[in-house]
Copies of this chain bind each other. A is one copy, B any other.
């Protein structure tokens, strides 16, 4: 029996030999993918607790029992979905990303990749951002979370050391900018905004850059910060 062990985080020491897959192995992979895809759809829409495993099976066109051939439990399934989505986001965001280059250009690239991800993979984006995953995430999932956060954090730090980014805690700035993107797409999804067009995204990028970078503020609230 070939059960494809779900893996979003290849070990660094695994030689990644490209074995030609047998027909049955290919089928198994397809089936696992159908299950993950169906689960993503329903989890993104109804949340973890709001989704019944047999419903996932139905959408994946698979027997309920089959899911348990691929995942130990519903919790393992949601971790699989999380890891696949998070790894995709990580790869799209950080592919050839050079945090030490031109800050303005890097910011633009980061923005385009993040918003591009939100548009091309709306289910993944909603699943990752609009849920509280903490209660069921396992160590591997947490690990992935950090793999994504750390480079971004370093970039913010670098931009700040360069005197370009605002003189604020890097994590705080990052949380606000990320939050702004999430807020934008959340409002679109909830119908509070018309579709987010390229034009809107262009202006939104400028807006977020103005958050990010040190600007001479034309209307300071107070001459100096009160203690």
Which positions in A face B, CB cutoff 8 Å? Answer: 46-50, 104, 108, 130-132, 134-135, 149, 166-169, 171-184, 186-188, 190, 192-193, 196, 199-200, 202-211, 213, 215-221, 225-226
Shortest A114–chain B CB gap in Å is 13
Q: State which of B172, B200, B215, B219 has its C-beta within 8 Å of the C-beta of A172.
A: B200
Bound: A172/B183 CA distance, A = 9
Q: A175-B183, A183-B176 are in contact. Are A104 and B221 (CB under 8 A)?
A: yes
B134 and A190 contact, CB distance less than 8 A:
yes
Give the number of copies in the complex. 2
Question: 13 A-B Cβ contacts within 8 A?
Answer: A49-B50, A104-B219, A131-B132, A134-B190, A171-B193, A172-B193, A173-B207, A175-B192, A176-B181, A179-B182, A179-B186, A183-B183, A215-B217
Q: A132-B47, A213-B219 are in contact. Are A176 and B204 (CB under 8 A)?
A: yes
Shortest A124–chain B CB gap in Å is 15
Bound: A131/B190 CA distance, A = 12
Cβ contacts under 8 Å, A132 to chain B: 47, 130-131
A149 and B192 contact, CB distance less than 8 A:
yes
A179 and B171 contact, CB distance less than 8 A:
no
Closest to A221 in B: B108
Cβ contacts under 8 Å, A149 to chain B: 192
Cβ contacts under 8 Å, A209 to chain B: 217, 219, 221
